[in-house]
Amino acid sequence: MAEKNIPMSKEQLEALTERFPTPFHIYDEQGIRENARRLKAAFAWNPGFKEYFAVKAAPNPYLMKILKAEGFGSDCSSYPELLLSERVGVVGEEIIFTSNDTPAYEYQKAAELGAIINLDDITHIDYLEENVGLPELVCCRYNPGPLKGGNAIIGHPEEAKYGFTREQLFEGYRMLRDKGVKRFGLHTMVASNELDRNYFVETAHLLFELVAELSAELDIAFEFVNLGGGIGIPYRPEEEAIDLAALGQEVKALYDELIVGKGLKPLDIRMECGRMVTGPYGYLVSRVLHKKNTYKQFVGLDACMVNLMRPAMYGAYHHISVVGKEDAPCDFVCDVTGSLCENNDKFSIDRAIPQVEIGDLVVIHDAGAHGHSMGFNYNAKLRSAELLLREHGEVVQIRRAETVEDHFATLDLEGLGAFDV
């Protein structure tokens, strides 16, 4: 069972709202650090193991700096993410740049930083060579198609826009070899928020066998395989987190059989987890503004899907606690909603929660990844602040809330008076 605890008391949260109006996201530094160490320990048997934190999950430089201190690199997919990594001192091969439909200037920045470039398509080999030049080390993203099932969030691999087919992969590495590339990596990413440990063991098996085949046919050696991310988190209280230690040992058994046992060059194991690193240690704190009783019961918050899109986008479950009523019976069935002019702006539907009153604080759990980062400005809503609960108990602001001035900053309001209609 996944415990849904809040790392602060009701009194502490109420005091915090006097400094930082709701809604806001708050992250638990201690929880993030301890979780990062569990992942590293699970693969400590592999001397070259590297986790590249998926920046898209929580693109805040304060969180990235914490993870850098824990030995993590960055998995980047855009120019601004590269700049964020550079700002916190994550450069060189501490970055893997995995993107698609990529403009040349983004490849150029990745090359300037010395990042590992992970190509998404066979046509990108010539595109990269013509616009930037081929680096010494190149990785390619494999899409196994129907050989590997996807899941509800990422879909079926054969329908995904990502990656090389098997045939393209062999031709692509042949092209890279013949163009003078000397160092090689192999990557795949075919699931998201997956809680079945066997899925990732099977992915390792697939890649280890593929490395052996590519090495034999093309006479090249691989430095690493990137198993991707996709490790899920137990959003529902009845779910169980993946046993990272067991996963590490099962991948090791395959490694010993398929890499060591076949006399292949030692491989570094790489991963690019985001959700499972920070997700369980982020909380969206909001306050009840209204209660409505029409054809059903509604509880309206001062947060909306601008602050957390996943429930509206995927129908995703996020656990909801009413602060101070964690042990009260859940005997009030309602929809918990936001204020957007969209009927899917709901954090939950027909959810049984404790009886709530206007003014109660509400915490939405597991919002530390793909929460604030997926924010937007529909209805001219402003994105909320991000806070960090430090290990010693201090709370610091790591991103201020947007203001109306921020929202209007890209508009030429001064020129509006001279605009002739």
Active-site residues, by number, are: 341
Q: Is 87 strand, coil or helix?
A: helix
Supply 57's token pair. Answer: 């999950």
Give CA–CA dist 362/318, Å, rounded. 12
How many of the other CB atoms lie within 10 Å of CB of 75? 30
Alpha helices in 56-195 (DSSP H): 61-69, 79-87, 104-113, 123-131, 166-178
CB 268 within 8 A of CB 49: yes
Give CA–CA dist 220/239, Å, rounded. 43
* Sequence-ordered list of residues with C-beta below 8 angstroms from that of 381, at least 6 positions apart, any chain: 304, 306, 340
Q: Is 69 strand, coil or helix?
A: helix
Identify which of 275, 277, 273, 271 has the alpha carbon closest to the alpha carbon of residue 310.
275
- Cis-peptide into 23, omega within 30 deg: yes
Give CA–CA dist 368/6, Å, rounded. 13
Q: What's the start-to-end Cα distance of the chain, in Å?
A: 62
Identify which of 229, 205, 245, 356 has the alpha carbon closest to the alpha carbon of residue 292.
356
Sign of CA dihedral 50, 55, 57, 58: positive
